[in-house]
Amino acid sequence: MSDDAGNNWNTTGQPQTGMPGQSGQASAGGSRPGPAYQRGPAFPETVARSSYSALIGAFIVCSAVAAIGSAFVISNLSPWYAALAKPGFALPSWIYWPVQMMLYALMALSVWMVWEQKAPRSVKFPALFVFGMQLLLNLAWPAMFFGAQSPGLGLIVIGVLVAAILATILSFYRISKWAALLLCPHLLWVCYETVLNIAIWWMN
């Protein structure tokens, strides 16, 4: 994709074409054409025109999902998870909570940035829908792996989760490059969890 893919929209909701700063042909008499509406990836502009109520709402929803998922984890760390055979690359259990809070904060910021963009509904709403699906899958994995104490079910869910995160990143990239980039740490972490899930399922 080009550097400006998915980030320029005109006032009618259609992709902006032509050179930056132009809005069609000059009017009769050689008058200067009016400025074009151009939406770029500019992070500061998004912050300056933010709806802070939407930002707070995004943090509340993502934090709630993180808290519920962590409840499944914490309640089953001992004795069930502690007794499982684990590979040498398994991280200490205490790392899970701070990592999850950081990743869900980035997710909240990412979806808020997409919400604030003036993209067409045909582009924005599918992206938000895919994000919602991957958010639910983020809750389903600890529910299956830890809550149901089933690495096998967890493996099925986390495989679908990886695909959902990739789809969300691609959808967000069409609207805001920053929003897509903010989801990349989450993808890397879930890929690590997938490998760990496979190893635990195989060893137990």
The yes-or-no verdict on residue 107 having pLDDT over 50 is yes
Residues 121-154: b if buried by 16+ CB within 10 A, e if exposed: eebbeebbebbeebbebbbbbbbbbbbeeebebb
The yes-or-no verdict on residue 148 having pLDDT over 90 is yes
Domains and CATH numbers, the chain: 43-203 (1.20.1260.100)
Residue 7 — φ and ψ, nearest 5°?
Answer: -115, -5
Question: With bands split at pLDDT 50, 70 and 90, how would you rate the model's confidence at 201?
Answer: very high
3 state DSSP class of 170: helix
Q: Which of 30-34, 94-98, 124-128 is the least confident region?
A: 30-34
Q: How far apart are CA 33 and CA 31, in angstroms?
A: 6
Using a 10 angstrom Cβ sphere, with 0-12 exposed, 13-18 middle and 19 or more buried, the burial of residue 20 is: exposed
Structure confidence by residue, pLDDT tens digits, 5-42: 445 455 445 455 444 444 444 444 444 544 443 444 44
Q: What is the mean pLDDT of the chain?
A: 83
